[in-house]
Amino acid sequence: MVKKKTCVFISGQGSNLKNLIKRSRDSNFPITIKLVVTNNKNANGIMYAKKNSIPYFVLNTELRNYENHLFYVLNKYKISFICLAGYMKIISKKLISKFEKKIINIHPSLLPKYKGLNTFARILKNKEKKTGCTVHYVNEKLDGGGIIVKKCFPIVSSDNEKTLKIKTQKLEYKVLPEAIIRIFRNS
């Protein structure tokens, strides 16, 4: 199997990155992580890139020509697939069109419900009975691209934002690899 050369974009903890690095060691897993991109030079997740000798690139989105830097590194590492895992910046139209149907994102809700930020607080406020996570393609609409995999769990009365986050992330570690396997199943 020829593994897809993948770049993971992060902004914070990077626990999904850590999980993907682990999964990608399996020879049957369809991607290999060749690059990590972050907009946050203090992102904790950078440590997983360092520990695993994966090159990482800090994107200074304040720079007018930051996209040229981004395209340069994506090209340098021959990236053909992008996974957004806790990346807190909006992706540009140019990147989306260059990587059409080649960028996915993991979102901590059952899309199309609860797009955007502060999902857990809104879910609890609305007294939802269940929640979960969704992996979807990235298009120009925020959290709006085609859904690849979505899984849920029940919300219990003792749940709060912290427990929902823990439970959602635990599910994410299964759902994101499953979505990647599904995308490349027939390729």
Convert 112-151 to b/e letters by CB count within 10 Å (16 or more is b).
Answer: eebeeeebbeebeeeebeebbbbbbbbbeeebebeebbbb
When CB distances to ligand GRF are compared, the closest residue is 86
Residues that bind ligand GRF (CB under 6 A): 10, 12-16, 45, 85-86, 106-108, 133, 169, 172
Contact by Cβ (8 Å): 141, 131: no
Structure tokens at 88: 């807190």
In the set 23, 34, 102, 107, the catalytic residue is 107
What would the two tokens of residue 106 be?
């993991």
Confirm whether 69 is a catalytic residue.
Answer: no
Based on CB atoms, which residue is closest to ligand GRF, 128 or 172? 172
Minimum CB–partner distance for residue 158 and ligand GRF (Å): 21
**Residues in contact with 144: Cβ distance below 8 Å, sequence separation at least 6, in sequence order:** 112, 115, 136
Shortest distance in whole angstroms from residue 165 CB to ligand GRF: 7
In the complex with ligand GRF, which residue's Cβ is closer, 81 or 87?
Answer: 87
User: Least Å distance between CB 76 and ligand GRF?
Assistant: 24
| Active site (catalytic) residues | 107
